[in-house]
Amino acid sequence: MNYTLKKISELLNVDIIGDESYEVDQVSSLENATSSSVVFVSDKKFLKFLDNSKSKVVITTKALSKSCNLNVIISENPYLLFSKVSKLINKVDDLVYSVHESVCTSTRNLNKKITVEPNVVIGKNVQLGNNTFIGANCYIGDFVDIGENSYINPNVTIYNNVKIGNNIIVHSGTVIGSDGFGYANDEKSLVKIPQIGGVQIGNNVEIGSNTSIDRGTLDNTIIGNGVKIDNQIQIAHNVHIGDNTVIAGCAGIAGSAKIGKNCMIGGAAGIQGHIEICDNVKITGMAKVACDIKEAGVYSSGTPLMLNKKWLKNAARFKQLNELFLKYKK
């Protein structure tokens, strides 16, 4: 969709330097831009790449704009404004409401303002909010509630008793509400503990592909408002994740862990069960969290990459640390 810079200025309440009548139709990288593309620069080290870019419009800060010979959209957060411009130009078409004839449902009187693609199975007493999209081959269990303006991509499985808020995106392959990993030891065998809780997900949440969110053993697993969950993440039973927390790919969160608001969990991080992490904590990639975190800040663990021979020597020394410490203390 084409927009003049003046229209962008009006819609997004930003200042323009240059030709307000200039039209753009896409956002692009610096390398692949055309004359009708919008690019962004948030660091002065990237200004040099503007010389070889075909773009005539750049989003940048007021300070950096003095070094640009292009039409400029001013923002103190260029990346954020870039995302808003992209959303504006690449507006998703409104849903055409329909329920495919192959859909199998036990719920009477489904909402008329929804779109359900082929081969979807919907259980009994399901509530789907206005403008909700259910992709092909999804399974929606009994007593599931999904709010308005939600987009469930193809091949998602949602078990019974899952409550999902408004403005949700769930990507393909994700499973929500599967049994938690709970067993009691009966000497010679393990006895499965019934997982009778559910999953409760707030508003404005996005869940990546092939992620698993387990139902609670007794109470619900809870995902707060605004949480963003990447691909291939394991969230175990009874986990609580606070509002606006972001979790990167391949992280694992064990049962009954409680993570605060506005946290950032790096890729492949492992969080032990039954611990609490306070608000505003950043955990770097591949960190192992084995105890409570009671103070906001950045936390790391793990061994940086090194030559294998050096790592083997260091690993051998690590196993001797306690013995060496006791000798030194003595």
Read off the CATH number of the domain in which 175 is found.
Answer: 2.160.10.10
Residue 63: which domain range? 3-89
pLDDT score recorded for residue 169: 98
pLDDT score recorded for residue 302: 83
142 falls within a domain: no
State CA 253 to chain mean position distance.
Answer: 15
Q: Are residues 69 and 193 in the same domain?
A: no
Q: What is the pLDDT along the chain (330 residues), one digit of tens a residue?
A: 899 999 999 999 999 999 999 999 999 999 999 999 999 999 999 999 998 999 999 999 999 999 999 999 999 999 999 999 999 999 888 899 999 999 999 999 999 999 999 999 999 999 999 999 999 999 999 999 999 999 999 999 999 999 999 999 999 999 999 999 999 999 889 999 999 999 999 999 999 999 999 999 999 999 999 999 999 999 999 999 999 999 999 999 999 999 999 999 999 999 999 999 999 999 999 999 999 999 999 999 988 889 999 999 999 999 999 999 999 999
Q: Are residues 173 and 79 in the same domain?
A: no
68 falls within a domain: yes
Q: Which residue numbers are catalytic?
A: 237
Q: Are residues 184 and 289 in the same domain?
A: yes
Which residue among 32, 54, 89 closes a domain? Answer: 89
Strand-pair partners of 162: 199
Q: Are residues 160 and 236 in the same domain?
A: yes
The total domain count for the chain is 2
Q: With H, G, I as helix, E, B as strand and everything else as coil, classify residue 277.
A: strand
114 falls within a domain: no
Distance from C-alpha of 105 to C-alpha of 155, rounded to nearest angstrom = 16
Q: Are residues 284 and 183 in the same domain?
A: yes
Q: Are residues 167 and 242 in the same domain?
A: yes
pLDDT score recorded for residue 126: 98
110 falls within a domain: no
pLDDT score recorded for residue 1: 83
249 falls within a domain: yes
Q: Are residues 56 and 160 in the same domain?
A: no
Mean pLDDT, the chain, as a whole number?
96
pLDDT score recorded for residue 94: 87
46 falls within a domain: yes
Tally Cβ neighbours within 10 Å of residue 69.
10
Sheet hosting strand 26-27, strand order edge to edge: 16-17, 71-74, 57-60, 37-40, 26-27
Question: Are the C-beta atoms of residues 168 and 205 closer than 8 Å to each other?
Answer: yes
Statement: the pTM of the whole predicted model exceeds 0.75:
yes
Q: With H, G, I as helix, E, B as strand and everything else as coil, classify residue 57.
A: strand
8, burial (CB in 10 Å: exposed 0-12, middle 13-18, buried 19+): buried
198 falls within a domain: yes
Q: Are residues 174 and 250 in the same domain?
A: yes
User: What is the domain-level CATH number for residue 74?
Assistant: 3.40.1390.10
Q: Are residues 180 and 69 in the same domain?
A: no
What helix, strand, coil percent values describe the chain, rounded to 5? 15, 30, 55
189 falls within a domain: yes
